[in-house]
Chain A
């Protein structure tokens, strides 16, 4: 689960304003925007301009479209662009359909809650851990890889001829399956919130007018709500596919990198973190595509059926019909399918280095050797400690900056509100690979390139736009009379802000948890900006995948340890997460 979850609230905000944001303006409070403006200007807007500039110049000399021509005519670029598009269309479609089916099915059955819990766990895992898990499962050696063993048995072929999921032909399918596994839980959460928000009276009304099952689905669910929700989920997943970078880096062996490559990887490979020439050109192409996708999605959501203005509080379903057999099968199947990878990871982690590398986890009795080796060493503790401090500090700063900035922005209404919404949304989807070089230049000016300080600054800058959006929307949802009363009652802006924060606790919790988990789970920012003595968890794990089989015991154990905190946080806070983010979004 990541930053993009925020776009739930965000996408909706581009739509027709829900209510007047008639807060009294106070000139001085616009100064509260300053920290956010500095961060976004310096570490997002300026770097984007620098990248645009670098894509049409060589050492400051104008070269026109030369870099674009070279980059796009380079062998394999067509395939890379095509694969990126395939990711952005096919994967979200699968995630959306599966998410809806599972949300609808698990709603009716008694075990639904448990199944949803199982589905949510993968969304909290770092993508690096997801990659490790699926690479363990898809290992080409049938003695180690469960999937390869099953495939060989099913196809009746020998181990050498068994289909290789990590081979050049199937690697993209393997990567996509891992991504879908990780993202469906999010779609289920959103769809469930949407389905719960559908007033049951609507369905009753349709039935009363003689509507059949399909009419109920169409008139009582799809038109008022699901259309928008589908658009939101699809867009979320499509934007999320920009993060396949982590998966490819961890899952694809060196020899099939090109067969798995997408724009994110290509940009990183061509410019090596410097963002010059062809790398910058490809980055600009990517940026334009992402921005266009965002705009289309925003327009789509905007033109969709407007949501009911005053949703009735969810009443308990009057009659729960007995779940049909297909429904129950679907739910049970999903629970098993989602548990198997987790089981593989856990089982592998319970084997020592030699056992895990040489044979599969089902060959030898479990033990705690890998955990002992990791926990008695100093490296894991250092990286855990560093990541904990980093994530905590970044979360605190992001929350502070975003609370201050959201306060003045919440007064805006009409076109200015929509414009700032769009700008913030754009800022929150800029892929960091595209601006890595210029960001390093800026960090160099403040003397923190390649240090922990620099890393934290980049995380803050990337986290702020999303946090501001969510908090602004939440603040704006608070009835204006309350705010006015508070101000009339003689409160200072600080008092009003505190009041707003107190009344929007779910949103604040959601922002804090998401930001923390995002930094904790990060790989790419660490890869691009960390320096010596600053080894974040994602980088620590990804570094060991260079000798994947030899390190699989330690990798699995490290992955389990790395996942505990984010899973706990997301599972415990999932109600606030949904409430905070979806408030005003899907409703």
Chain B
């Protein structure tokens, strides 16, 4: 992707300043004698229930806050607003890669978080560019979870090999028609597959390699990436692994995969993040609650934990935005959402007792004790490589999945995927 903002920065800045001044002038004229300052504008990706919770959160802030839901395409939205010189004060971004990109273009304001802002080690330095901090984490997602019903699976697997063995056994049973398939997977959504890949990669890669890949400093054509993909091929290639077969899994979206487990019970296990319980609550049948186990890996001692998250940034020139972000980074700002449930705080200074919902409380404890916290790799990749429907890493993982379930030998499927990953990294300007 070509950086749009690089052309003639001085000219553009002065034009933006002019526009801002014009906007301020017209706003002042409209406001007339009224002395109340305009509300602080926050653009978020959330909608529905999450948006309502966030509105409750900022309702406790000292000044007026206007929350605007920009939807999933917040990047395009913010680019357009920046181009037009009408950026909001604050934005909450779903990808750390965006924070760094915006900061490098000079769109953001440097931030100082509240004193009670404390993070797990893997997340701390992701929101900085050139040694300055431009964002704070406000929401976390635990992405190393399997969900299951204890009545269907008495002994969850603890290692990768156990998972493969179990999948083979259940898969054979499902093929003969007397039992559910072992795994549900929403392969129509590329991010589900990249989450799988990240968990396996973090598990098999030598120390530092995962982070180096994320920073664009490592080569994708490495033994670690090969091993990770081989492992996935080993599991996904099991006959009868998915309800309705692999081709059907490629047309199954994430929510539907949850429904396959919690409603139909057509599958025994489901891998995805803590937010599975939002869907589960709507579609569960019977009183039994789904339980979770950690993504099984080769290393039992220091299992890496993959997290995702949303970061708050303040746009350049907005002091009030920076103040709001600082307030949001404090441990107590998100109390209403904590109490309502469905929220996992990245801030480890938030007392565990504040969590009303037991799943989140346990996950918050895991976040504190995990030896190796790794942040979602695909969210950190540059440009289109980061993926969306039919684009970048999402697409590559889906091609790989299709190859594996179509019976292409694991070796050639892996080689093809590695080649595509390396090429995508090169053209996106990261990797070597």
Are A353 and B282 neighbours in the complex by a CB distance under 8 Å?
yes
6 A-B contacts (beta carbon < 8 Å): A164-B247, A265-B390, A270-B384, A447-B19, A450-B86, A531-B81
Q: Given the complex of chains A and B, what is the CA–CA distance between A159 and B244 in angstroms?
A: 7
Are B86 and A358 neighbours in the complex by a CB distance under 8 Å?
no
Is B253 located at the chain interface by the 8 A CB criterion? yes
Please name all residues of chain B whose beta carbon is closer than 8 Å to the beta carbon of A358 when the two chains form the complex: 259, 263-264, 283
Is B76 located at the chain interface by the 8 A CB criterion? yes
Q: Given the complex of chains A and B, what is the CA–CA distance between A354 and B69 in angstroms?
A: 26
Please name all residues of chain B whose beta carbon is closer than 8 Å to the beta carbon of A276 when the two chains form the complex: 2, 4
Are A549 and B253 neighbours in the complex by a CB distance under 8 Å?
yes
Please name all residues of chain B whose beta carbon is closer than 8 Å to the beta carbon of A59 when the two chains form the complex: 2-3, 6-7
The residue from A269, A448, A539 contacting B390, defined by CB atoms under 8 A apart: A269
Are B84 and A440 neighbours in the complex by a CB distance under 8 Å?
yes
Given contacts A276-B4, A447-B86, contact A531 B77 (CB under 8 A): yes
Is A258 located at the chain interface by the 8 A CB criterion? yes
Given contacts A441-B83, A532-B70, A533-B68, contact A255 B76 (CB under 8 A): no
Please name all residues of chain A whose beta carbon is closer than 8 Å to the beta carbon of B1 when the two chains form the complex: 272
Q: Mark A134-153, 1 if CB is under 8 A from B, else 0.
A: 00000011000000000000
Are B76 and A272 neighbours in the complex by a CB distance under 8 Å?
yes
Is B155 located at the chain interface by the 8 A CB criterion? no
**Residue of chain B at shortest CB distance from A60:** B7
Q: Mark B7-49, 1 if CB is under 8 A from A, else 0.
A: 1100000000001001100000000000000000001000110
Q: A354-B283, A440-B84, A550-B279 are in contact. List 14 more A-B contacts (CB 8 A).
A: A58-B2, A59-B7, A141-B248, A161-B245, A167-B251, A168-B402, A254-B189, A255-B251, A273-B79, A354-B263, A447-B84, A543-B72, A548-B253, A550-B259
Pick the most buried of A60, A161, A274: most chain B CB atoms within 10 A of its CB. Answer: A274
**Residue of chain A at shortest CB distance from B23:** A447
Query: Chain B's nearest CB lies how many Å from the CB of A88?
Result: 21
Within 8 A of A (CB), among B208-265: 244-245, 247-248, 250-256, 258-259, 263-264
Are B256 and A450 neighbours in the complex by a CB distance under 8 Å?
no
Please name all residues of chain A whose beta carbon is closer than 8 Å to the beta carbon of B8 when the two chains form the complex: 60
Please name all residues of chain A whose beta carbon is closer than 8 Å to the beta carbon of B190 when the two chains form the complex: 254-255
Q: Given the complex of chains A and B, what is the CA–CA distance between A570 and B202 in angstroms?
A: 57
**Residue of chain A at shortest CB distance from B242:** A160
Is B341 located at the chain interface by the 8 A CB criterion? no
Count of interface residues, chain A, beta-carbon cutoff 8 Å: 55
Query: Chain A's nearest CB lies how many Å from the CB of B217?
Result: 25
Is B157 located at the chain interface by the 8 A CB criterion? no
Are B244 and A273 neighbours in the complex by a CB distance under 8 Å?
no
Query: Chain A's nearest CB lies how many Å from the CB of B260?
Result: 9
Interface locus among B135-143, B161-169, B391-399? B391-399
Is A443 located at the chain interface by the 8 A CB criterion? yes
Within 8 A of B (CB), among A308-355: 353-354
Closest 4 CB pairs of A and B: A444-B84, A532-B68, A257-B390, A449-B84
Are A449 and B81 neighbours in the complex by a CB distance under 8 Å?
yes
| A contact set with B: CB distance below 8 Å | 58-60, 140-141, 159-161, 164, 166-168, 253-258, 261, 265, 269-270, 272-274, 276-277, 353-354, 357-358, 379, 440-441, 443-445, 447-451, 527, 529, 531-533, 539, 543, 546-551
Q: Given the complex of chains A and B, what is the CA–CA distance between A531 and B66 in angstroms?
A: 14
Are A255 and B250 neighbours in the complex by a CB distance under 8 Å?
yes
Are A269 and B391 neighbours in the complex by a CB distance under 8 Å?
yes
Q: Given the complex of chains A and B, what is the CA–CA distance between A166 and B249 in angstroms?
A: 12
Please name all residues of chain B whose beta carbon is closer than 8 Å to the beta carbon of A449 when the two chains form the complex: 80-81, 83-84, 86
Please name all residues of chain A whose beta carbon is closer than 8 Å to the beta carbon of B305 when the two chains form the complex: none
Are B80 and A164 neighbours in the complex by a CB distance under 8 Å?
no
| B contact set with A: CB distance below 8 Å | 1-4, 6-8, 19, 22-23, 43, 47-48, 68-73, 75-77, 79-81, 83-86, 187-190, 244-245, 247-248, 250-256, 258-259, 263-264, 279, 282-283, 384, 388-391, 394-395, 398, 401-402
**Residue of chain B at shortest CB distance from A276:** B2
Q: Given the complex of chains A and B, what is the CA–CA distance between A164 and B252 in angstroms?
A: 12
Given contacts A253-B251, A532-B68, contact A273 B80 (CB under 8 A): yes
Query: Chain A's nearest CB lies how many Å from the CB of B47?
Result: 7
Query: Chain B's nearest CB lies how many Å from the CB of A145?
Result: 10
Are A258 and B245 neighbours in the complex by a CB distance under 8 Å?
no
Please name all residues of chain A whose beta carbon is closer than 8 Å to the beta carbon of B86 when the two chains form the complex: 444, 447, 449-451
Q: Given the complex of chains A and B, what is the CA–CA distance between A531 and B79 in angstroms?
A: 12
Are B251 and A166 neighbours in the complex by a CB distance under 8 Å?
yes
Q: Given the complex of chains A and B, what is the CA–CA distance between A254 and B392 in angstroms?
A: 12
Query: Chain B's nearest CB lies how many Å from the CB of A298?
Result: 35
Given contacts A160-B248, A274-B4, A354-B282, contact A254 B398 (CB under 8 A): yes
**Residue of chain A at shortest CB distance from B48:** A379
Are A254 and B394 neighbours in the complex by a CB distance under 8 Å?
yes
Are B254 and A255 neighbours in the complex by a CB distance under 8 Å?
no
Q: Given the complex of chains A and B, what is the CA–CA distance between A141 and B242 in angstroms?
A: 13
Query: Chain A's nearest CB lies how many Å from the CB of B247?
Result: 6
The residue from B81, B248, B264 contacting A140, defined by CB atoms under 8 A apart: B248
Query: Chain A's nearest CB lies how many Å from the CB of B310?
Result: 17
Q: Given the complex of chains A and B, what is the CA–CA distance between A10 and B391 in angstroms?
A: 39
Q: Given the complex of chains A and B, what is the CA–CA distance between A527 and B72 in angstroms?
A: 11
Q: Given the complex of chains A and B, what is the CA–CA distance between A277 and B2 in angstroms?
A: 7
Query: Chain A's nearest CB lies how many Å from the CB of B409?
Result: 20
Query: Chain A's nearest CB lies how many Å from the CB of B66?
Result: 9
Are A443 and B84 neighbours in the complex by a CB distance under 8 Å?
yes
Please name all residues of chain A whose beta carbon is closer than 8 Å to the beta carbon of B263 when the two chains form the complex: 354, 357-358
Please name all residues of chain A whose beta carbon is closer than 8 Å to the beta carbon of B73 when the two chains form the complex: 527
Please name all residues of chain A whose beta carbon is closer than 8 Å to the beta carbon of B23 when the two chains form the complex: 447
Query: Chain B's nearest CB lies how many Å from the CB of A422?
Result: 32
The residue from B2, B71, B76, B254 contacting A547, defined by CB atoms under 8 A apart: B254
Please name all residues of chain B whose beta carbon is closer than 8 Å to the beta carbon of A549 when the two chains form the complex: 253, 255-256, 259
**Residue of chain A at shortest CB distance from B188:** A253
The residue from A258, A440, A550 contacting B80, defined by CB atoms under 8 A apart: A440
Query: Chain B's nearest CB lies how many Å from the CB of A76?
Result: 9
The residue from A161, A258, A277 contacting B395, defined by CB atoms under 8 A apart: A258
Given contacts A440-B83, A532-B43, contact A547 B253 (CB under 8 A): yes
Please name all residues of chain A whose beta carbon is closer than 8 Å to the beta carbon of B253 when the two chains form the complex: 253-254, 546-550
Query: Chain B's nearest CB lies how many Å from the CB of A438?
Result: 10
Are B188 and A444 neighbours in the complex by a CB distance under 8 Å?
no
Please name all residues of chain A whose beta carbon is closer than 8 Å to the beta carbon of B390 when the two chains form the complex: 254, 257-258, 261, 265, 269
Given contacts A59-B6, A164-B248, A447-B19, contact A274 B259 (CB under 8 A): no
**Residue of chain B at shortest CB distance from A280:** B2
Query: Chain A's nearest CB lies how many Å from the CB of B118?
Result: 32
Are A447 and B188 neighbours in the complex by a CB distance under 8 Å?
no
Query: Chain A's nearest CB lies how many Å from the CB of B102?
Result: 14
Are B75 and A272 neighbours in the complex by a CB distance under 8 Å?
yes
Q: Given the complex of chains A and B, what is the CA–CA distance between A548 and B256 in angstroms?
A: 8
Query: Chain A's nearest CB lies how many Å from the CB of B40?
Result: 14
Q: Given the complex of chains A and B, what is the CA–CA distance between A274 and B79 in angstroms?
A: 8
Query: Chain B's nearest CB lies how many Å from the CB of A140?
Result: 5
Q: Given the complex of chains A and B, what is the CA–CA distance between A255 and B388 in angstroms?
A: 10
Are A255 and B84 neighbours in the complex by a CB distance under 8 Å?
no
Are A255 and B72 neighbours in the complex by a CB distance under 8 Å?
no
Q: Given the complex of chains A and B, what is the CA–CA distance between A88 and B85 in angstroms?
A: 39
Query: Chain A's nearest CB lies how many Å from the CB of B41?
Result: 8
Q: Given the complex of chains A and B, what is the CA–CA distance between A253 and B256 in angstroms?
A: 12
Please name all residues of chain A whose beta carbon is closer than 8 Å to the beta carbon of B72 when the two chains form the complex: 543, 546
**Residue of chain B at shortest CB distance from A357:** B259
Please name all residues of chain A whose beta carbon is closer than 8 Å to the beta carbon of B3 when the two chains form the complex: 59
Query: Chain A's nearest CB lies how many Å from the CB of B200?
Result: 20
Please name all residues of chain A whose beta carbon is closer than 8 Å to the beta carbon of B401 when the two chains form the complex: 255
Please name all residues of chain B whose beta carbon is closer than 8 Å to the beta carbon of A273 when the two chains form the complex: 76, 79-80
Q: Given the complex of chains A and B, what is the CA–CA distance between A160 and B80 in angstroms?
A: 45
Are A547 and B79 neighbours in the complex by a CB distance under 8 Å?
no
Query: Chain A's nearest CB lies how many Å from the CB of B285?
Result: 9
Q: Given the complex of chains A and B, what is the CA–CA distance between A166 and B3 in angstroms?
A: 36
Q: Given the complex of chains A and B, what is the CA–CA distance between A18 and B68 in angstroms?
A: 54
**Residue of chain B at shortest CB distance from A260:** B390
Are A255 and B279 neighbours in the complex by a CB distance under 8 Å?
no
